[in-house]
Amino acid sequence: MSLSDNLGYLLQHTAASLARQSDQMLQERLGIGFSQYKIMLVLQWIPNVQQRHIAESLGQTEASISRQIKLMHEGGLLQTTVRPSNRREHITTLTRKGERLADEAASALNLYYAPIFGPLSDKQQKQFTETLGLMHQEVCRGDKIGRCHQGYLD
């Protein structure tokens, strides 16, 4: 069996390659990294969320999220407030500038990915999306290591 016949390898390699390419494109066009964009996505999906939940949702460490959030604060993309009912709880939200940049990044990525998905018919794209959704559910089910706490993303 060659590497190109190994589904696990193909999936991991494709995802890693797309992430690297996405990071480079976003850096060049918008001055943000793919990690920062993913944080913005979580904040759009789940307003007023703690950093711990962002890390869990993205399968990253709190330290890596904290570093990215610090950079994003400095760039005026995020704001953090202390929850009045629990002063130890910090809530992070997107600023208007962050919302605009997240939307610009989504559009740029859609344009970037268009040639990649272009050869697939609408039916194939739908099937691919459904298949990835089923795989995502399985990967994030139960107490598996690295699960994304899917409930935060619903």
Please tell me which residue, 62 or 153, carries the higher pLDDT value: 62
Mean pLDDT of 66-70: 92
Over range 50-76, report the average pLDDT.
89
Distance between CA atoms of residues 58 and 1, nearest Å: 32
* 124 vs 120: CA distance, rounded Å: 6
Report if pTM > 0.75.
yes
Architecture of domain 3-119: Orthogonal Bundle (1.10)
Q: Residue 136: what pLDDT?
A: 82
Query: Is the pLDDT score of 23 beyond 70?
Result: yes
Is the confidence at residue 41, as pLDDT, over 60?
Answer: yes
pLDDT at 50: 81
Nearest to 90 by CA among 70, 108, 112: 70
The pLDDT-based confidence of 154 (bands split at 50, 70, 90) is very low
Query: 34-45 and 7-30 are packed helices; what angle lies between their axes, rounded to 10 degrees?
Result: 90
Q: How far apart are CA 87 and CA 74, in angstroms?
A: 22
**What integer pLDDT is reported at residue 138 of this predicted model?**
84
The residue-averaged pLDDT of 9-38 equals: 94
CA distances to 104, 112, 145 from 40, rounded to whole Å, are: 11, 19, 23
What does the pLDDT read at residue 145?
A: 58
- What pLDDT digit, counting tens, does each position of 86-117 carry? 877 778 889 999 999 999 999 999 999 999 98
> Is 152 in contact with 57 (CB distance < 8 Å)?
yes
Output 56 or 68, whichever has higher pLDDT.
Answer: 68
